[in-house]
Structure 1
Amino acid sequence: MSTPALSLRRAPDATAVIVMVALCAAWGFQQVAIKEANASFPPMLQAGVRSAIATVLVWFWTRSRGTSLFQRDDTLGAGLLAGVLFGGEFVCIFFGLTLTTATRMAVFIYTAPCFTALGLHWFVAGEKLRRVQWLGIAVAFCGMALAFADGFLHGNPNATSTLRGATSTLRGIAGDALGVLGGLLWAATTVVVRATSLAHASASKTLFYQLAVSAVLLLALAFGLGQTHVSAVTPIALASLAYQAIVVAFISYLTWFWLLTRYMASRLSVFSFLTPIFGVTFGVVLLGEHFTLRFMIAAAMVLTGIALVNKPARRTA
């Protein structure tokens, strides 16, 4: 996948805005799809199959475009590390969604832009945080703390119905914590891609590393943990799995990389705050999940922090 010169990258036009909104909606729906598929497929098996299908699709895509994925370019070590981190992220997401709601997961996992900004500040030259970004990180983390406090006070209304009281609350908190850890691993993956030899690799090869390594890791975990038994498979579960593999892991990620080759990344990243909004909306409307006023305030603080972190810098003469 060729990359135009940096000078040719431009501010998002109407096409880019429409595509970005569609991508954010697709990513926001992912938690709902995972929840639906969990009824038939164990979490690690589901995650591994998702990555495996997307890996094959990316391979066919690159073959059709004449792009080689296996030439030597000193990216193997960084690629393996990115793949392990990417796989770890989905271990957290898929396990977490068995403990907490899709609504809460959508907020916690998308604290990733704040962790990414911190990581780039420490490890990538020229990515120093500005004061408004430090403010955004502080606001987002305060919102995250408030959301955790809400979980302690109100428990998780959507946790397994046979568990009551303190046990139910602790399950929900554990799921929330896995969401935050998933966001941290997502951010670490981004930093590895930006700070290593992967920064000069094609987008399709970078994606292939993440999908292929995570597929091996997740399927190995599924067999190691005995998560290979498939329950009664419903059409909704199959459609949810296909959606994750084809729409999210293959089409949406390649589309995102395509946008990055043509438009300014700083302007595109501003749209990231839409994803948890879609995630919360889908969780409430499609899964009937509920949240308190305290959690709504916490989510608004996290979204505000994300928006501040991604606020473009003022251009100077």
Structure 2
Amino acid sequence: MTSSGTALPPSTADARGAAGGVGMAFVLVWCTGYIAGTLAVAHGGPLTTLVLRFGLTTLVFALLALVGRASWPARRELGHSAVVGALLLALQFGGMYIGLRLGATAGVAALATGSMPLVVALLALAGGERLGGGQWSGLAIGFCGVAMVVADRVDGATPPLAWLALGASVLGISLGTLYQKRHASRLDMRVGLTVQNATATLLVLPLAIVLEGVHFERSAAFLLPLAWLVGVNSVGGFALLFVLIRRGAATKVAALFFLMPPVTAVMGWLWLGEHLTLLKGAGFACAAAGVWLATRRAAPPGRA
């Protein structure tokens, strides 16, 4: 509302509503990946699962690009997409899964992921993006919400190497988000995601061979969650992330990750029988408030 009580123009309100809808769809789709991933890695090596996920997703987007006759950009732009794939896919998920393999608990991994919006904000600030006091408050409140959600799953026995791997994971998704926003968000989405997933496949494959021998069960217990990871989480989730990064500031997109641990906790309660407490509920509320503060537009002078 303006100071005179007039409403936002319909076009502005519709645009904000659409952006909010895309953001919530992204959060819901992305969080299903944690559930499907938990089910998949119970029947196959985590790095092997990533190789299959990235490789199959590459084929899906390559087929979409071919059928849609997408135009392939210059080599330089393809190189930018390859860098995003190395950071946003290979380093993020590879670091997280290696951290879990080295002894990090799921709670520690979730807390590390929850710090991503703060890391993005600091990197964006260093790169010249300006943040207001409300955004900083939102980032702080959001992180507190994440900490409340995962508090009962964090212990003090995480090995230093596991922390190092998780730190690399957070750095990968943070740098990847910023890099894509600045260098790789204008090319055709189908082409960009083909290159990103192909790059991640080639980078993670040697680790899967050396550490796991490319191990997975040829059963529905593994193949069905893998199909979900590819069809819903990778194709749907990363397509939505691509759209969000193209449309919004990096810090606003990153703030949505505060909602990942709370929403995943609810999904885990519904489908995996995990415990849901009042503290988690309060953390969900804090995370949501933090996202609202961090992503809302500041009112122009003279408006409320």
Task: Report the TM-score range of the alignment, normalised by the length of the smaller protein.
Answer: 0.7 to 0.9
1:56 is displaced (CA, Å) by 0.8
Where do residues 53-202 of structure 1 align in structure 2 (5 Å cutoff)? Answer: 53-69=56-72, 71-86=73-88, 87-97=90-100, 99=103, 105-106=109-110, 108-123=112-127, 125=128, 127-141=129-143, 155=155, 170-171=157-158, 181-196=168-183, 198-202=184-188
1:182 is displaced (CA, Å) by 2.7
1:194 is displaced (CA, Å) by 2.1
1:90 is displaced (CA, Å) by 0.6
Unmatched segments (≥5 aa) in structure 1: 1-7, 156-168
CA contact (8 A) 2:146 2:283 kept: yes
Q: Supply the distance in 1 between the matched residues of 2:149 and 2:164 (Cα, whole angstroms).
A: 11
Where do residues 261-280 of structure 1 align in structure 2 (5 Å cutoff)? Answer: 269=253, 273-280=258-265
Is 1:308 equivalent to 2:293 in the alignment? yes
1:237 is displaced (CA, Å) by 1.9
Is 1:219 equivalent to 2:223 in the alignment? no
1:203 is displaced (CA, Å) by 2.8
Q: Deviations over 1:147-206 (max 9, x none)?
A: 787556xx4xxxxxxxxxxxxx5249976875565333211101111233x244333333
Question: What amino acid is the match of 1:89?
Answer: Q
Which of 36, 47, 52 is the equivalent residue of 1:33?
36
Q: Deviations over 1:63-118 (max 9, x none)?
A: 1111133x425224433322211211011333345556656645542432332222
Partner of 2:192: 206
Which piece of structure 1 moves more, 292-301 or 213-222? 292-301
CA contact (8 A) 1:100 1:172 kept: yes
CA contact (8 A) 2:181 2:250 kept: no
Q: Supply the distance in 2 between the matched residues of 1:149 and 1:277 (Cα, whole angstroms).
A: 12
Change (3 A) 1:299 1:276: same
Partner of 2:50: 47
Which piece of structure 1 moves more, 235-244 or 273-282? 273-282
CA contact (8 A) 2:256 2:291 kept: no
Change (3 A) 1:45 1:68: same
Partner of 1:3: none
Question: What amino acid is the match of 1:243?
Answer: W
Change (3 A) 1:89 1:302: same
Q: Supply the distance in 2 between the matched residues of 1:177 and 1:244 (Cα, whole angstroms).
A: 26
Question: What amino acid is the match of 1:133?
Answer: Q
Q: Supply the distance in 2 between the matched residues of 1:116 and 1:267 (Cα, whole angstroms).
A: 6
Partner of 1:166: none
CA contact (8 A) 2:113 2:257 kept: no
CA contact (8 A) 2:36 2:228 kept: yes
Q: Deviations over 1:16-45 (max 9, x none)?
A: 655543432221111111111112110101
Q: What's the TM-score once normalised by structure 1's chain length?
A: 0.74
Q: Supply the distance in 2 between the matched residues of 1:75 and 1:180 (Cα, whole angstroms).
A: 28
1:208 is displaced (CA, Å) by 2.4
Equivalent pairs, count? 289
Partner of 1:243: 228
Q: What's the TM-score once normalised by structure 2's chain length?
A: 0.76
Change (3 A) 1:14 1:36: same
CA contact (8 A) 2:58 2:194 kept: yes
Question: What amino acid is the match of 2:190?
Answer: S
Percent identity (aligned): 24
Q: Supply the distance in 1 between the matched residues of 2:200 and 2:20 (Cα, whole angstroms).
A: 30
Question: What amino acid is the match of 1:311?
Answer: R
